[in-house]
Amino acid sequence: MSITITAFERSPDGGKGLARDTRVRWALEEVGQPYDVRYVSFQAMKESAHLRLHPFGQIPTYEEGDLVLFETGAIVFHLAEQHPGLLPTDAHARASAIAWMFAALNSVEPSILELVVAKFQEGDKPWSKERVPLVMDRIRLRLGQLSTRLGDADWLDGAFSAGDLMMVSVLLRTRPSGILDEFPNLAAYVARGEARPAYQRAFAAQWAANTGQLAG
């Protein structure tokens, strides 16, 4: 069954890999599944054809036969359930890897998103100057806790899993702020994720789509 995902026609980050189709592409590459991409404009994302796939008018979406999914957590989880490589077979280890996926999306990503809102969407508001340092502190708190838990391990819980894929994807979104450099083990963790051949292929594909160039 062929797989089609959606992505920005032109990502606001210009191809830095921060748009969320990258994490889905990465999961697809990790499990060796070919896929097509349908590129959508901001306008098309809010029109009925796309809203049938994604109730909130966002990317990415995932179509496979008559299955339609939205939410990157659900998409990556589906891929990890259907194909070997992203979740351990041992039941407890599997549950723990899934917990890390939720942790990435529910406990780490929210404050990172707040920063994007405070800096870019509300950057011209009078409260933005005071809000940014507060949000940075909330991110710092979570990253400190995560850094302590990771210690000197390569991955969060044994072998690389969908939990790491999601956590690295979320942490990558802090890169423009420079805050990751305060936590050398997290910076190294993210670099390990980025060095994976599957990530490299995913990054190159979205880069090529956004820039019309091959990744260098």
Residues that bind ligand GSH (CB under 6 A): 19-20, 45, 57-59, 71-72
Angle between helices 162-172 and 72-82 (to 10 degrees): 150
Token pair in block for residue 121: 């969407």
Residue sitting closest to ligand GSH (CB)? 58
Least separation, in Å, of the C-beta of 175 and ligand GSH? Answer: 15
Least separation, in Å, of the C-beta of 61 and ligand GSH? Answer: 9
Note whether 32 and 21 are within 8 A (CB).
no
What is the sign of the dihedral through the CA atoms of 120, 186, 76 and 211?
Answer: positive
Tokens 């996926």 correspond to what residue? 101
Q: Which is nearer to ligand GSH, 55 or 151 (by Cβ)?
A: 55
Least separation, in Å, of the C-beta of 110 and ligand GSH? Answer: 10
Q: Which is nearer to ligand GSH, 69 or 183 (by Cβ)?
A: 69
Least separation, in Å, of the C-beta of 64 and ligand GSH? Answer: 16
Half-sphere exposure of 180 (CA within 13 A, CB side): 20
Angle between helices 91-102 and 72-82 (to 10 degrees): 160
Q: Which is nearer to ligand GSH, 104 or 183 (by Cβ)?
A: 104
Q: Which is nearer to ligand GSH, 173 or 183 (by Cβ)?
A: 173
